[in-house]
Chains A and B, each alone.
Chain A
Amino acid sequence: MKPVECENLRITYRRGRTVAVDNLSFTVGSGDIFIFIGPDGAGKSSTFKAVCGVLTYDSGKLLTFGVDPNDEKAFEPVKERISFMPQGLGQNLYKKLSVEENVDFFADLYGVTGEEREKRKKLLLKTTGLWEFRDRPAGKLSGGMMQKLSLCCILIHRPEFLVLDEPTTGVDPVSRREIWRLLYSFNREGQTVLVSTSYLDEAERGTELLLMKDGKKVVSGSYEDVVRTESQAFLITSDDPYAVYQKLWDITNTPRLKGNTVRVLIPPEKLKNFRELQKKMSFSAQPVEPDLEDLFVEKVGLRRVVLPPIFKPKTEVPENAVVVENVVKKFGDFTAVDGVSFTVKRGEIFGLLGPNGAGKTTLIKTVLGLYSPTSGRISVAGKPVGKDVKKLIGYTSQKFSLYYDLTVLENLVYWGSVYGVSPSTVKSLVSQVAPVFELQEFLNRQVAELPLGIKQRVALLSALLHSPPILFLDEPTSGVDPVERDVFWQVIRELSKKFGVTVLITTHYMDEAEYCDRVLLMNRGKAVALGSPRELKEELRKEMGNAYLIYTDEPFDLEEKLKSLGFKTALFGRKVKVYSLKPITEDYLKELGVPFKKLKPSYITMEDVFVFRVLSDV
């Protein structure tokens, strides 16, 4: 019996006024790793809830293990065969209980006992890096650690069918690799996995993929079948990528600025215009194979954001906007931040990267004066943080800062007045920027009803109302889809480049790290690397050599083999990335006796920098 059979599924909210899922059909086969992607509010979570019998669907045919989830009585025994992890930061955890107690609690709940339980608990906690924190109360974990703990609690028993709604949101790249390795190994033991994700690179790792938009299916199939675009993808290099980027908007709604390159999709009928532009601006455009992001962008479409000048700060801050010198922050005898120093220049976008629990949030909170540093010196806008400095700061925390029971406009008016901006000013500002942020239709809706991407936009706007010259953003884009994140980064870029706003931001999306001017990589409270993304990648390339992708049907075996030959490797779906100082050719691989389907040169990414700098820092 198939885990899920679904035909013409329809789910509505607010008595039919909002259609969340419409005419959706798909089948999850036994042993699949089935992945859902799609923009925020596309209806992924609703579908998952219906599959697990948590929510009643309106019409269509839905069978989970052959039973209709709407039939509560008949479905009760099926629930035993499913494990469902809903979206959201550690909601199912008991904050006062320790990490281990939380896992034990769920084990009790599912009746997992004895040796089996101890073994599995250890495996899960070790894989997620939580083992050494097993005595810490869940409430004192970092955001990503809580997410990982929720996942452990769900995985402690072994149902046939795992349904995970964005399990890796806010989880760092190293742990994500580990979690996927774990899912693969469960899958090999026979578990079926249905999972949604906002990380496109993860979508590649499944056996089946379904892209959803506005409640409907856009495409589905295996990765190779799905990732085909009607337009041609180009990678553009130029001396002035930003100028090219801006011009491209006249031709298409797909340009993306990536460091010093621009990626774009040109539909056949626009090729002529594109070539003309190329001639005029004399940039080089290399045709590339489309990837999932290209597909996503083609189907969903990007939106140009131009900020009105009201966000230009009225106060000028000194050249060294944020100075952190040798800051140490201890909780009891645990050192969360261990002697970190850096300076953020005025107008710079400064990225703070690091694994979960590295101390990023703690560092930001210490800089903001929420925690007092154990030692070290901090100055923001040339002064220690006090009342007059606070006016110059905009902050969004990793948790949400909006009131769910207030409307968007009420929230904005409230946060405005907290920062001394009068309601009339806020209202006139909102009327100007609501179109830019596409918030018009949401202004009088309560925040609780909005999809995550919109909430994030409102949260950012609420931090911008007083036009602060310095912004601190703690994981502002976690769980947000690529199109929304693009809007977000356009805003950040305009603020920084046009208005000279200084931005300190943390993220777990490595593509976003490329957007930063400089990046500080932290691990276990210490700074392990500092520099521009280009410098950091180049440094790593010098040490590890060039990167190659090897395509295969047996990625695990291939990776094992390469490792045993002494190569550094990383797993990407059914590809293995390998690094070598000596050039790798097909002949060389044959010589080594490594079986493969295809070999392609690749390049070092910020994710590589992250993973290898963190793993080699022991």
Chain B
Amino acid sequence: MKFLILLYKEVVQFLRNRGLLIFAVYAFTLDIYLAATGIDLTLKNASFYAQDFDNSYTSRELLSKFPEPYFHFKGYLLSDKSVEDVLLKDRAVGVIRIPFNFEKRLKKGDRTEVAVIVNGAEVSASYLFSAYATQIIYNFITGQFFKPPVEVVPRIYFNQNASSKLFMAYSELLTVITLFLLLLPAAAVVLEKERGNVEMLTVSPLPNIVFMVAKSVAMGLIVLLFTAFALFFTVEKVVAVPFRGNELDFLLLTLLYVFTASGLSMFIASLSENMLQVSQLTILLLIPILYLSGNWTPIEAMPKLLQWLSVLSPLKYYIDGALAIAIKGVPLKELTSDILALTLQGGALFALGNYFMVRRI
């Protein structure tokens, strides 16, 4: 009974958060539709600034690679304070930060980092922004200074041919599921932290762990509901690609995945102080998970090291299993290895994530 009330509260709060709700509806319907049908009207005119410490030929060259009409370059910033300022005041979707000696280090082949800082308030735009930006930066660096080991296939940007519609629909669905599973529980926890409510809960006899688990479970349920909706409505009716397996199997597998991803989400929550950081960390985590999952690039085509690392991406097992159910119609009970991997990973991450979170309060 008590647990039900905890769940009820989370669900009600989610439903009253207009912005998040609209984004979720969009992501589980239109976004999947657009990705599948290949219509390209995702990122438009995203305003961004650059904080260019290097100010070299190469750095300017890199910035020129952010094309209109997707991006809209608004100018240079000097201090960190003004970066925070433009983001908090919604004057930009993101900021690209280029470090000192960027050109020099690149030429020497040293490690260097370009930071993509995004505005957390605009969740959808910032997600797209960072996805595009990462791609562009990656292409720029690989294109210019060494032969890429693989051809990076940009995903949503180009028109798809009919045969890939099926694959794209499911792949986008799985991506969206992952994004929300990472985002929602962390966002819910951090909101409580920001408002000082975590403290009230610590004083209460309710163990913090129960509270955290309630959040993960509530958000998992919401995502599961949205997944069902996307499956029956968006994928089967609107995009109209065949679903060969059993929908229940698909949802059960997703349920397992919920534990894995919301465990990760708790890590995000424990490391973040505000929503901006939650969004940034979510994206930071999402990109490698997606990349390593083979969703973008076939795993076989990756360098050996990455292939080996891909074992760690939870999305890999989920994609394996989910696509097998959806496209090939494999029944759940034949997917023992994926289930095993997901259960192990999910159990461990969920327990660890929640434990870590509770420890950090």
User: Interface of A with B (CB < 8 Å)?
Assistant: 94, 97, 101, 105, 365, 368-370, 387-388, 390-391, 393, 395, 397, 399-401, 403, 405-406, 410, 413-414, 417-420, 422-423, 446
Name the A residues within 8 Å of B206 (CB-CB). Answer: 418-419
Task: Choose from A101, A418, A422 the contact partner of B201 (Cβ within 8 Å).
Answer: A418
Total interface residues in chain B, CB < 8 Å: 23
Instruction: Tell me whether B12 and A410 are in contact (CB under 8 A).
Output: yes
Query: Which of B2, B9, B200, B204 gathers most chain A CB within 10 Å?
Result: B200
Instruction: Tell me whether B5 and A413 are in contact (CB under 8 A).
Output: yes
Task: Choose from A395, A406, A420, A423 the contact partner of B200 (Cβ within 8 Å).
Answer: A395
Instruction: Tell me whether B205 and A391 are in contact (CB under 8 A).
Output: yes
Is B305 an interface position by the 8 A CB rule? no
Q: A401-B196, A405-B17 are in contact. Are A368 and B203 (CB under 8 A)?
A: yes
Name the A residues within 8 Å of B81 (CB-CB). Answer: 97, 101, 105
Task: Choose from B5, B197, B199 the contact partner of A370 (Cβ within 8 Å).
Answer: B199
Instruction: Tell me whether A395 and B203 are in contact (CB under 8 A).
Output: yes
Q: What string of 1s and 0s marks CB contacts (under 8 Å) between B119-148 and chain A? A: 000000000000000000000000000000
Name the B residues within 8 Å of A418 (CB-CB). Answer: 201, 204-206
- In the complex, what residue of chain A is closest to B14 when comparing beta carbons? A405
Name the A residues within 8 Å of B12 (CB-CB). Answer: 405-406, 410
Is B6 an interface position by the 8 A CB rule? yes
CA–CA, A105 and B89, complex, Å:
15
Is B13 an interface position by the 8 A CB rule? yes
Instruction: Tell me whether B2 and A94 are in contact (CB under 8 A).
Output: no
Task: Choose from A390, A395, A401, A417 the contact partner of B5 (Cβ within 8 Å).
Answer: A417
CA–CA, A579 and B206, complex, Å:
53
Q: How far is the CB of A388 from chain B (nearest CB, A)?
A: 8
Name the A residues within 8 Å of B84 (CB-CB). Answer: 94
Task: Choose from B2, B17, B196, B204 the contact partner of A390 (Cβ within 8 Å).
Answer: B204
Is B22 an interface position by the 8 A CB rule? no
Task: Choose from B9, B202, B204, B207 the contact partner of A403 (Cβ within 8 Å).
Answer: B9
Name the A residues within 8 Å of B201 (CB-CB). Answer: 418
Name the B residues within 8 Å of A410 (CB-CB). Answer: 9, 12
Q: Report, nearest first, the 10 A-B pairs whose CB atoms are least far apart.
A: A399-B196, A390-B205, A417-B5, A401-B200, A405-B16, A418-B206, A417-B2, A418-B204, A391-B205, A395-B203
Q: What string of 1s and 0s marks CB contacts (under 8 Å) between B69-104 and chain A? A: 000000000000100100000000000000000000
Q: A368-B203, A418-B201, A423-B5 are in contact. Are A406 and B13 (CB under 8 A)?
A: yes
Name the A residues within 8 Å of B248 (CB-CB). Answer: none
CA–CA, A405 and B15, complex, Å:
10
CA–CA, A403 and B205, complex, Å:
19
Instruction: Tell me whether A393 and B9 are in contact (CB under 8 A).
Output: no
Q: What string of 1s and 0s marks CB contacts (under 8 Å) between B185-212 and chain A? A: 0000000000111011111111100000
Task: Choose from B5, B195, B203, B205 the contact partner of A414 (Cβ within 8 Å).
Answer: B5
Instruction: Tell me whether A420 and B195 are in contact (CB under 8 A).
Output: no
Q: How far is the CB of B11 from chain A (nearest CB, A)?
A: 11
Instruction: Tell me whether A403 and B203 are in contact (CB under 8 A).
Output: no
Instruction: Tell me whether A387 and B205 are in contact (CB under 8 A).
Output: yes
CA–CA, A393 and B204, complex, Å:
8
Name the B residues within 8 Å of A403 (CB-CB). Answer: 9, 13, 195, 197
Name the A residues within 8 Å of B2 (CB-CB). Answer: 417, 420
Q: How far is the CB of A219 from chain B (nearest CB, A)?
A: 38
Instruction: Tell me whether B203 and A369 are in contact (CB under 8 A).
Output: yes
Name the B residues within 8 Å of A391 (CB-CB). Answer: 205
Instruction: Tell me whether A414 and B9 are in contact (CB under 8 A).
Output: yes
Task: Choose from B1, B9, B16, B199 the contact partner of A397 (Cβ within 8 Å).
Answer: B199
Q: How far is the CB of A559 from chain B (nearest CB, A)?
A: 40
B226-256, CB < 8 A from A: none
* Sample of 19 further A-B pairs with CB below 8 A, known A369-B203, A405-B16: A97-B81, A365-B199, A395-B200, A397-B199, A399-B196, A400-B195, A400-B196, A403-B9, A403-B13, A403-B195, A405-B13, A405-B17, A406-B9, A410-B9, A417-B1, A418-B205, A419-B204, A419-B205, A446-B16
Query: Which of B5, B13, B203 gathers most chain A CB within 10 Å?
Result: B203
CA–CA, A435 and B45, complex, Å:
55
Pull 11 A–B residue pairs with CB atoms less than 8 Å apart, ordered by A. Answer: A387-B205, A395-B200, A399-B196, A399-B199, A400-B196, A405-B12, A405-B16, A410-B9, A414-B9, A417-B1, A420-B205
Q: How far is the CB of A100 from chain B (nearest CB, A)?
A: 13
Q: How far is the CB of A110 from chain B (nearest CB, A)?
A: 14
CA–CA, A413 and B283, complex, Å:
36
Q: How far is the CB of B319 from chain A (nearest CB, A)?
A: 35
Name the B residues within 8 Å of A395 (CB-CB). Answer: 200, 203
Q: How far is the CB of A612 from chain B (nearest CB, A)?
A: 34
Instruction: Tell me whether A422 and B203 are in contact (CB under 8 A).
Output: no
Name the B residues within 8 Å of A101 (CB-CB). Answer: 81
Name the B residues within 8 Å of A393 (CB-CB). Answer: 203
Q: What string of 1s and 0s marks CB contacts (under 8 Å) between B146-169 and chain A? A: 000000000000000000000000
CA–CA, A397 and B195, complex, Å:
11
Q: What string of 1s and 0s marks CB contacts (under 8 Å) between B203-225 and chain A? A: 11111000000000000000000
Name the A residues within 8 Å of B207 (CB-CB). Answer: 387
CA–CA, A101 and B85, complex, Å:
14
Name the B residues within 8 Å of A369 (CB-CB). Answer: 202-203
Q: How far is the CB of B274 from chain A (nearest CB, A)?
A: 8
Q: How far is the CB of A102 from chain B (nearest CB, A)?
A: 11
Q: How far is the CB of A74 from chain B (nearest CB, A)?
A: 24
B7-32, CB < 8 A from A: 9, 12-13, 16-17
Name the A residues within 8 Å of B1 (CB-CB). Answer: 417, 422-423
CA–CA, A419 and B201, complex, Å:
9
CA–CA, A369 and B201, complex, Å:
12
CA–CA, A414 and B204, complex, Å:
12
Instruction: Tell me whether A399 and B205 are in contact (CB under 8 A).
Output: no
Instruction: Tell me whether B195 and A399 are in contact (CB under 8 A).
Output: yes
Name the B residues within 8 Å of A94 (CB-CB). Answer: 84
Q: How far is the CB of A503 from chain B (nearest CB, A)?
A: 16
Name the A residues within 8 Å of B197 (CB-CB). Answer: 401, 403
Q: How far is the CB of B188 from chain A (nearest CB, A)?
A: 11
Q: What string of 1s and 0s marks CB contacts (under 8 Å) between B311-339 and chain A? A: 00000000000000000000000000000
Q: How far is the CB of A380 from chain B (nearest CB, A)?
A: 11
Instruction: Tell me whether B202 and A370 are in contact (CB under 8 A).
Output: yes
- In the complex, what residue of chain B is closest to A388 when comparing beta carbons? B205
CA–CA, A413 and B6, complex, Å:
10
CA–CA, A417 and B9, complex, Å:
11
- In the complex, what residue of chain B is closest to A390 when comparing beta carbons? B205
- In the complex, what residue of chain B is closest to A396 when comparing beta carbons? B200
- In the complex, what residue of chain B is closest to A104 when comparing beta carbons? B81
Q: How far is the CB of B17 from chain A (nearest CB, A)?
A: 7
Q: A405-B17, A406-B13 are in contact. Are A397 and B5 (CB under 8 A)?
A: no
CA–CA, A101 and B17, complex, Å:
33
CA–CA, A369 and B197, complex, Å:
15
- In the complex, what residue of chain A is closest to B84 when comparing beta carbons? A94
CA–CA, A420 and B6, complex, Å:
12
Name the A residues within 8 Å of B204 (CB-CB). Answer: 390, 418-419
CA–CA, A395 and B196, complex, Å:
13
Name the B residues within 8 Å of A414 (CB-CB). Answer: 5-6, 9
CA–CA, A101 and B80, complex, Å:
12
Query: Which of A369, A390, A418 gathers most chain B CB within 10 Å?
Result: A418
Instruction: Tell me whether B203 and A390 are in contact (CB under 8 A).
Output: yes
CA–CA, A369 and B208, complex, Å:
14
- In the complex, what residue of chain A is closest to B211 when comparing beta carbons? A418
Name the B residues within 8 Å of A388 (CB-CB). Answer: 205
Name the A residues within 8 Å of B17 (CB-CB). Answer: 405
Name the A residues within 8 Å of B195 (CB-CB). Answer: 399-400, 403
Instruction: Tell me whether B200 and A397 are in contact (CB under 8 A).
Output: yes
Query: Which of B13, B84, B202, B205 gathers most chain A CB within 10 Å?
Result: B205
- In the complex, what residue of chain B is closest to A392 when comparing beta carbons? B205
Q: How far is the CB of A406 from chain B (nearest CB, A)?
A: 7
B43-72, CB < 8 A from A: none
